[in-house]
């Protein structure tokens, strides 16, 4: 779990680097950052289930580091839970095992390792785009 959280921190820092390098003015960076972070948070799986996302906005989900971090943490936690105690007579039991929880959250396609590697890839892409933006700004000054 600690590795996934460290990768999430690194991806957040990479996103910050990218936003800072793409904007020329300091007052625009927080605005652009929020415009990027809000769709990532919405389509990351915390607020909206992956199966409920509109088809034309699914691409945002695949760019979101929140999605990969959340899915990896859910896999690490729920994968080994064999049964969830629930009294069916008095409660509405939506899931009786960890695999059912993962199925309810639409997280059955990738393993925790694959989500972690995709999180690392998104992190590297953020930093590379930031580098390209910084290179472009310095190149245009000449």
- Expressed as residue numbers, the domain containing 103 is 2-141
Residues of the chain with pLDDT under 70: 142
Q: For 99-131, write each residue's pLDDT tens digit.
A: 888 888 888 789 999 999 999 999 999 999 999
The pLDDT score that the predictor gives to residue 53 is 83
The pLDDT score that the predictor gives to residue 119 is 96
The pLDDT score that the predictor gives to residue 90 is 73
Q: Coil, strand or helix: which one is 121? A: helix
Question: How many residues in total does the chain contain?
Answer: 142
Rounded to whole angstroms, the Cα distance separating 101 from 99 reads: 5
The count of structural domains within the chain is 1
CA 59 to chain centre: 12
Burial label, 30 (beta-carbon count in 10 A; 0-12, 13-18, 19+): exposed
Rounded to whole angstroms, the Cα distance separating 31 from 17 reads: 14
The pLDDT score that the predictor gives to residue 81 is 85
The pLDDT score that the predictor gives to residue 21 is 93
């Amino acid at each position: 779990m600690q590795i996934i959280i460290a990768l999430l921190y690194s991806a957040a820092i990479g996103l910050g680097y990218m936003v800072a390098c793409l904007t020329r003015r300091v007052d625009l960076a927080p605005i652009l950052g929020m415009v990027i972070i809000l769709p990532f948070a919405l389509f990351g799986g915390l607020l909206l289930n992956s199966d409920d996302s509109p088809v034309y906005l699914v691409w945002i989900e695949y760019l979101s580091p929140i999605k990969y971090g959340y899915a990896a943490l859910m896999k690490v936690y729920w994968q080994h839970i064999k049964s969830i105690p629930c009294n069916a007579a008095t409660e509405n039991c939506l899931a009786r095992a960890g695999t059912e929880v993962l199925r309810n959250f639409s997280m059955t396609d990738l393993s925790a390792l694959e989500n972690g590697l995709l999180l690392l890839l998104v992190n590297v892409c953020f930093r590379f785009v930031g580098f390209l933006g910084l290179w472009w700004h310095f190149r245009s000054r000449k």
